[in-house]
Amino acid sequence: MIVFIYGTTAEAIKLAPVMRRLDAREVPYQQWVTFQHTEALRTAMPQLGLRAPDRVIANGWRGKPLKKPVHMVGWMTTVGLWTLKNLGSLRRASRPSVVLVHGDTMTTVLGTFIGRLAGLPVAHVEAGLRSGDWRHPFPEELDRRIVGRLAEVHYAPTDETARNLAGRRNVIVTQGNTVKDAVRDSAAKRAGNPGEDVSDEPYGLVLLHRFEFISNLTLVRDTLQTLNDQSPVALQVVVDSYSRDAIEEVIGELGLDRLTTAPKLEHAAFVERLQNAQLVVTDSGGVQEESAVFGIPTLIHRMATERNEGLGTSALLSRWDQDVVRQFLQDADAHRAGSDEVAASPSDIIVEDLLARGYGTSS
């Protein structure tokens, strides 16, 4: 039995292509969900074609998003108590079984521990990414290093990420990240049926939500002011429950009239809006990968990135330098690149490897 343990919307988006391909081949699997994201993930799951979870490990913080450190501690405690309560039944799970985790979240780490405590092998999707600096992004860089040591199977997107796992066994290069399949699946789903929410006027997208950014009020003010003053097009700032208050407060306080906030969309609609954007400013690694598929000029507003998608072609790293932000906005078209060529499907490679290892048997 294949078990997916995840808890964030981004994890769901990137694991959904693997699950859809398992469904197409009638291979059984289960979803064990921590709801590290609560409302957003519950909304996203049916939109991504995912059924209800087989096990709910935790439900955020008392059913609400994790907005404060104390919420994270309470949520982690819930996950720990669930694991202790269910450890006996987990250890009696039918063999062969494997736990799949994704990326670099706290759920990735906790899911890995659950698998190891249950005596099950853990397979890590999107393995081997490294920024080289444990402080940036924090704690994601540490999360990846921990999982990299504990996982048994490593699905590395590129040769470079595979080299970061030198000395480890069972490293499989997937020829890209599963987010490419997510984007292509979504684009195919909406082909010939364009949405009504794409503006006729040129626009750019801004997606800034990371804690290290949102918690730095001076950086938020400086960045939004620069975007408002220098952008060649109006900007739609996509906000979620974590970033909305800080972003909207600064926009109102500074009277930024070229920035408008917009709620998160379901993934297929977001891909369409992304595909039609003139430029993107983001601190999301997933959006960096998605925009690289279309070659859209993208400013990665972070100190460091563990991903190489788009760098040197369509993407530029700001290192939080406002001069770099200005330069990007003034000459964004210089970063426009062609769409990524359709190559092998990373999700297909993962599914074939899972089945070859005998993990597709029924429980």
pLDDT digits (tens, 9 = 90+) for 146-161: 999 999 999 999 999 9
| Pair (294, 167) in one structural domain | no
What is the rounded average pLDDT of the residues 34-62? 92
The pLDDT score that the predictor gives to residue 25 is 95
Which amino acid is located at 27 in the chain? V
The pLDDT score that the predictor gives to residue 363 is 47
| Pair (105, 206) in one structural domain | no
Instruction: Encode pLDDT of 285-339 as tens digits.
Output: 889 989 998 999 999 999 988 888 888 899 999 999 999 999 999 999 999 997 7
Residue 171 has pLDDT above 80, yes or no: yes
Q: Which domain holds residue 297?
A: 188-335
* CATH number of the domain enclosing 195: 3.40.50.2000
The answer to whether 285 and 305 are in contact (CB under 8 A) is: yes
Which of the pair, 37 or 350, is modelled with greater confidence? Answer: 350
The pLDDT score that the predictor gives to residue 341 is 66
Rounded-to-integer distance, Cα 328 and Cα 158, Å: 27
| Pair (29, 151) in one structural domain | yes
Lowest mean pLDDT among 10-19, 47-56, 181-190, 265-274: 181-190
DSSP for residue 340: P
Residue 361 lies in a domain: no
Number of domains the chain contains = 2
Lowest mean pLDDT among 94-103, 106-115, 217-226, 233-242: 94-103
Lowest mean pLDDT among 44-48, 89-93, 299-303: 89-93
Residue 182 lies in a domain: no
Residue 101 has pLDDT above 60, yes or no: yes
| Pair (277, 349) in one structural domain | no
| Pair (146, 77) in one structural domain | yes
| Pair (163, 244) in one structural domain | no
The pLDDT score that the predictor gives to residue 139 is 86
Q: How confident is the model at residue 194 (pLDDT cuts 50, 70, 90)?
A: low
Those residues with Cβ within 8 angstroms of residue 146's Cβ, 6 or more apart along the chain or in another chain: 109, 112
| Pair (24, 143) in one structural domain | yes
| Pair (217, 296) in one structural domain | yes
Q: Is the pTM of this model over 0.85?
A: no
Place of tokens 């981004």: 10
What six digits make up the tokens of 38?
A: 């609560």
Which amino acid is located at 106 in the chain? M
| Pair (222, 312) in one structural domain | yes
* Percent share of the chain, pLDDT over 70: 94
Residue 254 has pLDDT above 70, yes or no: yes
Residue 350 lies in a domain: yes
What is the rounded average pLDDT of the residues 266-282? 92
What six digits make up the tokens of 223?
A: 């960045």
| Pair (8, 120) in one structural domain | yes
Beta strands in 130-239 (DSSP E): 153-156, 171-173, 203-207, 234-239
| Pair (226, 305) in one structural domain | yes
- CA angle, 13 then 280 then 125, to 5°: 30
Parallel/antiparallel/unpaired status of strands 98-102 and 2-6: parallel
CB atoms within 10 A of CB 78: 18
Residue 68 lies in a domain: yes
Rounded-to-integer distance, Cα 211 and Cα 265, Å: 21
Residue 362 lies in a domain: no
Instruction: Encode pLDDT of 128-140 as tens digits.
Output: 999 888 887 888 8
| Pair (238, 148) in one structural domain | no
